[in-house]
Structure 1
Amino acid sequence: MPLTLPRGELRKQVDARAGRGLLIAIGVLTALALGLFMWVARNEGAPLSAALAVTTTPQGLLLPVLGIITACNEWSQRTALIPFTQEPRRLRVVLTKLLSVAALGTITVALAWVMALVAFLILAALTGQSLNPDPDWGQLAGGWLTQLIAVLQGVAFGLALLSVPLVIGIWRVLTREVK
């Protein structure tokens, strides 16, 4: 697989307005969720696992949309021919999309964990609790795997239907919690 294809896919995800805006929204919503978490736990403190759990909500809602946009954006913008002229084998193009969105999703999850660690350390300093974060490695691995599966499911739905609004609507209906 030529190296220009993965670089091009990553660049399209970050440079396009939709992808960049979505990544900024994920970061801002994660920061707001952590700020609210710190406000609620300002008196008694909280463990790092709680801060990590707070980061999963905005990411669980928006990372699949990143996968959907990655799969559908070219079809809605009528530029789908471009990657196939660079690489005529559709499987390689799809694998490149999957790898690039998995890499970007992993980076996003790692940055959210760093934000959670910073929030935990600030909260620990303010409340006087122990500064030993002692992360639960199983929780970290499970959280990363959950987000990775969600973003790859977003790509799969996007490749199946090729329409961003349709796929996002169907995704939200299928993944909402039954009460």
Structure 2
Amino acid sequence: MSTTLDTSRADVPLLRLIGVEFRKSVDTLAGRWMLIVIAALTLIVDLIVVAIANAADFDLRLSSLLWSQKNVMLPIVAAMAILLATSEWTQRTAMVTFTLVPDRWKTVAAKSVVALLLGTAAFLLSLGIGGLLTFAGGHWDLSFSDVTVRYLTWVVFLAQALGLGFLFLNSAAAIVTFYALFVLGTFIVAPIVGPLLGLKSQFVESTWPWIDLYRATFLTYHSDGWPSGDLWGQLATSSLIWVGIPLAIGIWRVLHAEVK
């Protein structure tokens, strides 16, 4: 008896794929624990900042709370995005996924949307907990544009995490690379190495701000109101180098990688 393929059925819709990818991220023991850890760390970091502010008699500000939360929460959310991007390749389910959904761009789009949703939820959680503590005994010093700009920096780093996940197709390599870039760029290169090199070279001084993603995101995150045009330009060019290129190559690799 011969068998035939039914090619008359419609493709899997994108919204269904988004739902599947979302369940794969949160409807597992590991996914649920990561969400619990994010919420717990947010509260713990905020309480530490509140305790320090009270002990030192500092004015508790929402901007300080959000900055402290960002350095703790964002790497964890980025790891979730990377695990989402690499799941087919690390769990060896690529054959099943891409057989059921031959249009790989749909899977890439669904994963990107879910990563953005998870990042947005984490940012709102950060803002909510920080806001409650601020109202209880602090100062809300951020306007709507300030909050929007801070959210955009989260999106930049989430896109970088996705790009590294698609690029390496390996969870461990992508997570280690993201963490190394995040820690070195945020705490060493942007505040120390860049300024020191700029003191010795006028070319570096004029060029460095346009290629240093972590300096650009730091200044954007801490800008008072809407950033200047130069700062937007520096964020755009540095994001193109450190986010756009890995993301473009990574998406191309997912679309063309051989499934073994």
TM-score normalised per structure 1: 0.86
Kindly indicate whether residue 97 of structure 2 is the aligned counterpart of residue 90 of structure 1.
no
Kindly indicate whether residue 30 of structure 2 is the aligned counterpart of residue 18 of structure 1.
yes
Larger Rg: 2
Q: Give the alignment of 1:104-123 within 5 angstroms.
A: 104-123=118-137
The worse-fitting range, judged by mean Cα deviation, of 97-106 and 166-175 is: 166-175
CA distance, structure 2, for counterparts of residue 44 and residue 160 of structure 1 = 44
Secondary structure of 1:41 counterpart: helix
Q: Give the alignment of 1:124-163 within 5 angstroms.
A: 124=138, 133=140, 135-163=142-170
CA distance, structure 1, for counterparts of residue 41 and residue 146 of structure 2 = 21
Structure 2 gap ranges (5+): 1-12, 193-260
The worse-fitting range, judged by mean Cα deviation, of 164-173 and 92-101 is: 164-173
Higher relative contact order (CA 8 A, sep 6+): 1
Q: CA offset at residue 79 of structure 1?
A: 1.6
The answer to whether the 8 Å contact 1:56/1:143 transfers is no
Q: Give the paired residue count.
A: 172
- What are the superposed Cα offsets for residues 26-53 of structure 1, whole Å, 9 maximum, x if unpaired? 2211111101011011244312222222
CA distance, structure 2, for counterparts of residue 41 and residue 34 of structure 1 = 10
Displaced runs of 4 or more, over 4 A: none
**Could you tell me which amino acid in structure 2 is paired with residue 82 of structure 1?**
V
Secondary structure of 1:24 counterpart: helix
Q: Give the alignment of 1:37-52 within 5 angstroms.
A: 37-42=49-54, 43-52=57-66
CA distance, structure 2, for counterparts of residue 38 and residue 76 of structure 1 = 41
- What are the superposed Cα offsets for residues 33-75 of structure 1, whole Å, 9 maximum, x if unpaired? 1010110112443122222222211123222212111111221
CA distance, structure 1, for counterparts of residue 88 and residue 29 of structure 2 = 13
CA distance, structure 2, for counterparts of residue 164 and residue 106 of structure 1 = 22
Kindly indicate whether residue 171 of structure 2 is the aligned counterpart of residue 164 of structure 1.
yes
The answer to whether the 8 Å contact 1:63/1:147 transfers is no
Structure 1 gap ranges (5+): 125-129
Change over 3 Å in CA distance of 1:25–1:35 after alignment to 2: same
Q: Which residue of 1 is the match for residue 19 of structure 2? A: 7
Q: Which residue of 2 is the match for residue 63 of structure 1? A: 77
Q: Which residue of 2 is the match for residue 78 of structure 1? A: 92
CA distance, structure 2, for counterparts of residue 15 and residue 135 of structure 1 = 34
CA distance, structure 2, for counterparts of residue 14 and residue 80 of structure 1 = 20
- What are the superposed Cα offsets for residues 91-131 of structure 1, whole Å, 9 maximum, x if unpaired? 1110110011101111111111000001112234xxxxx6x
RMSD of aligned C-alpha atoms?
Answer: 1.8
The answer to whether the 8 Å contact 1:67/1:155 transfers is yes
CA distance, structure 1, for counterparts of residue 14 and residue 108 of structure 2 = 13
The answer to whether the 8 Å contact 1:38/1:123 transfers is no
TM-score normalised per structure 2: 0.61
CA distance, structure 1, for counterparts of residue 91 and residue 146 of structure 2 = 39
Determine what percentage of the aligned residue pairs are the same residue. Answer: 26
Q: CA offset at residue 17 of structure 1?
A: 3.1
The answer to whether the 8 Å contact 2:84/2:111 transfers is yes
